[in-house]
């Protein structure tokens, strides 16, 4: 759903840019409360993983494909504020290095793909987690639902921006029906990827899943025939191996590199949902060439490398490396500026989800 230059006029693009800048500024402050010495490097990894998976377009209908947006996944794994920053870093790298998503439309893309997806997904996720039993399956199911609804919500946000500042004269009803319809299907893929990834991390390190914190059910004791909460016991010190994130980080990095460097060659070549709707409805009549169209990595290929498989694989690996470097730098900087006082130095106690 990367909006190129020329789809939305300048005034609305500037307004969306102001919304995006405000959201990023608020997220920078909020992320200080979410990040600690363990999660700061993992947030950079989440950004790189989202970059890699976004290269894997999957077919959703005849002649149409979709790809992960990533807002739900990032928000659930590392927190909503950090999630907005993760997706924003990905969009920035894609726009500057790979000519994917217009530079004048960066604010539109951050608003749609980072802010709207995170807000909708995390609101749905938190609401369901409160209603469902305190189990790992419930967390995974809530992640599925949040991700599923976040994609058509982003499509609706694009439609609203198009209604306000579209550069072509296309009936808004047709745009709405086409955008929301195809992105409901894409949402199913988003939900499956998000639930599978969250479930995998929960299975090995539930303490690293932001959305699973605070789900420990209190121990009950029967006193005088009534169930009462047992006194809270002091948490036992976790062994160093349990606290370390090196294995998770290494596994995630290798997975991202394999997906971007190898599996991406087999991704669907069909246009994604927005590209297909834009071509069918005539939204793209005023699209402009990307300012970075001459980039050595434009269109996810390395310039002057003739072998398509090698060119795309190298571009994917470079993208993962650049995203994790920039993302980790941003999150470590945010972490170092954390000003919550003494409590900030102590990581949150690891939750126990069944």
pLDDT tens digits for range 193-204: 999 999 999 999
The pLDDT of residue 243 is 66
- Phi and psi at 234, nearest 5°, equal -65, 130
Tell me: pLDDT of 244 over 50.
Answer: yes
Confidence class of residue 304 from pLDDT cuts 50, 70 and 90? very high
What is the model's pLDDT at position 219? 46
Instruction: Give me the CATH number covering residue 185.
Output: 1.10.1760.20
Residue 234: pLDDT band with limits 50, 70, 90:
very low
The whole-angstrom separation of Cα 23 and Cα 15 is: 12
What predicted TM-score, i.e. pTM, was given to this entire model?
Answer: 0.89
Whether 114 maps to a domain, the answer reads yes
Q: Which of 77-86, 101-110, 179-188, 221-230 has the lowest mean pLDDT?
A: 221-230
Q: At what angle do helices 71-78 and 172-204 cross, to 10 degrees?
A: 30
Task: Let me know: does 174 contact 281? Beta carbons within 8 Å.
Answer: yes
The tokens describing 91, both together, are: 């969009």
Is 229 inside a domain boundary?
A: no
Residue 121 tokens read as 């997904």
Q: What is the predicted pLDDT for the residue at 311?
A: 97
Of 278, 331, 298, the C-alpha closest to 38 is: 331
pLDDT reported for residue 336: 82
239 lies in some domain: no
Q: For a pLDDT cut of 90, what percent of the chain falls above it? A: 81
CB 18 within 8 A of CB 114: no
pLDDT at res. 271? 95
Task: Using the predicted structure, report yes or no on whether residue 220 has a pLDDT greater than 60.
Answer: no
Return the pLDDT at 354: 53
Mean pLDDT of the chain: 90
CA-nearest of 268, 322, 333 to 47 is 322
3-state secondary structure of 221: strand
Residue 239 has pLDDT above 80, yes or no: no
Domain membership of residue 173 (yes or no) is yes
At 330, list the tokens: 């941003």
pLDDT given for residue 68 in this prediction: 97
How many independent structural domains does the chain possess? 1
* pLDDT at residue 353, as a whole number: 52
Asked if residue 233 is part of any domain, the answer here is no
Cβ–Cβ under 8 Å, residues 133 and 214 = no
Q: DSSP alpha helices (H): ranges in the chain?
A: 10-34, 39-54, 71-78, 80-98, 106-109, 117-131, 136-165, 172-204, 240-243, 246-261, 273-281, 308-336
Q: What is the pLDDT of residue 241?
A: 45
What's the domain range around 135? 10-217+244-337
Answer yes or no: is pLDDT of 351 > 50: no
Residue 87 lies in a domain: yes
Instruction: Calculate mean pLDDT across residues 295-312.
Output: 95
Residue 262, pLDDT score:
97
State yes or no: pLDDT of 235 exceeds 70. Answer: no
> Does residue 182 lie in a domain region?
yes
Q: Which pLDDT tens digit goes with each residue over 123-162?
A: 999 999 999 998 999 999 999 999 999 999 999 999 999 9
Residue 268: pLDDT over 50: yes
pLDDT-derived band of residue 237, with 50, 70 and 90 as boundaries? very low
User: From CA 33, how far away is CA 115, in angstroms rounded?
Assistant: 18
Of 3-12, 33-42, 241-250, the poorest mean pLDDT is in 241-250
The confidence score (pLDDT) of residue 147 equals 98
For residue 65, list its beta bridge partners. Answer: 59, 272
Query: Could you give the CA distance from residue 73 to residue 121 in angstroms, rounded to a whole number?
Result: 9
Q: Which residues of 128-158 are buried (b: 16+ CB within 10 A; e: fewer)?
A: bbeeeebebebbbbbbbbbbbbbbbbbbbbb
Q: What angle do CA 138, 140, 146 make, to 5 degrees?
A: 100
Would you say the C-alpha torsion 6, 9, 10, 12 has a positive or negative sign? negative
Burial of 262 by CB count in 10 Å (0-12 exposed, 13-18 middle, 19+ buried)? middle
pLDDT score, position 216: 53
SS3 category, 40: helix
Residue 232 lies in a domain: no
**Once rounded to an integer, what is the mean pLDDT over residues 298-313?**
95
């Amino acid at each position: 759903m990367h909006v190129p230059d020329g789809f939305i006029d300048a005034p609305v693009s500037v307004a969306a840019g102001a919304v995006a800048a405000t959201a990023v500024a608020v997220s920078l402050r909020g992320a200080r409360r979410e990040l600690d010495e363990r999660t700061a490097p993992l947030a950079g990894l989440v950004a790189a993983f989202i970059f890699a998976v976004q290269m894997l377009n999957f077919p959703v209908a005849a002649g149409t494909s979709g790809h992960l947006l990533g807002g739900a996944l990032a928000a659930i794994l590392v927190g909503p504020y950090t999630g907005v920053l993760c997706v924003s870093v990905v969009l920035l790298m894609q726009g500057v290095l790979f000519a994917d998503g217009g530079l004048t439309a960066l604010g539109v893309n951050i608003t749609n793909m980072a802010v709207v997806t995170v807000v909708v997904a995390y609101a749905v996720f938190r609401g369901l987690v409160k209603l469902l039993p305190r189990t790992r399956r419930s967390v995974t199911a809530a992640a599925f639902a949040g991700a599923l609804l976040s994609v058509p919500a982003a499509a609706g946000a694009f439609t609203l921006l198009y209604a306000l500042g579209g550069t072509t004269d296309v009936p808004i009803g047709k745009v709405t029906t086409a955008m929301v319809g195809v992105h409901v299907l894409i949402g199913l893929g988003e939900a499956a990827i998000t639930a599978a990834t969250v479930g995998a991390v929960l299975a090995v390190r539930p303490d690293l899943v932001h959305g699973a914190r605070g789900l420990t059910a209190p121990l009950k004791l029967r006193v005088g025939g009534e169930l009462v909460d047992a006194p809270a016991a002091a948490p036992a010190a976790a062994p160093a191996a349990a606290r370390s994130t090196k294995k998770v980080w290494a596994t995630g990095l290798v997975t991202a590199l394999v997906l971007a460097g190898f599996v991406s060659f087999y991704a669907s070549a069909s246009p994604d949902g927005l590209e297909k709707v834009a071509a069918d409805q005539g939204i793209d009549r005023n699209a402009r060439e990307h300012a970075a169209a001459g980039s050595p990595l434009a269109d996810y290929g390395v310039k002057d490398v003739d072998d398509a498989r090698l060119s795309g694989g190298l571009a994917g690996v470079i993208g993962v490396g650049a995203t994790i470097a920039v993302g980790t730098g941003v999150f470590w900087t945010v972490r170092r500026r954390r000003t919550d006082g003494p409590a900030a130095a102590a990581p949150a106690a690891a939750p126990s989800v069944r």
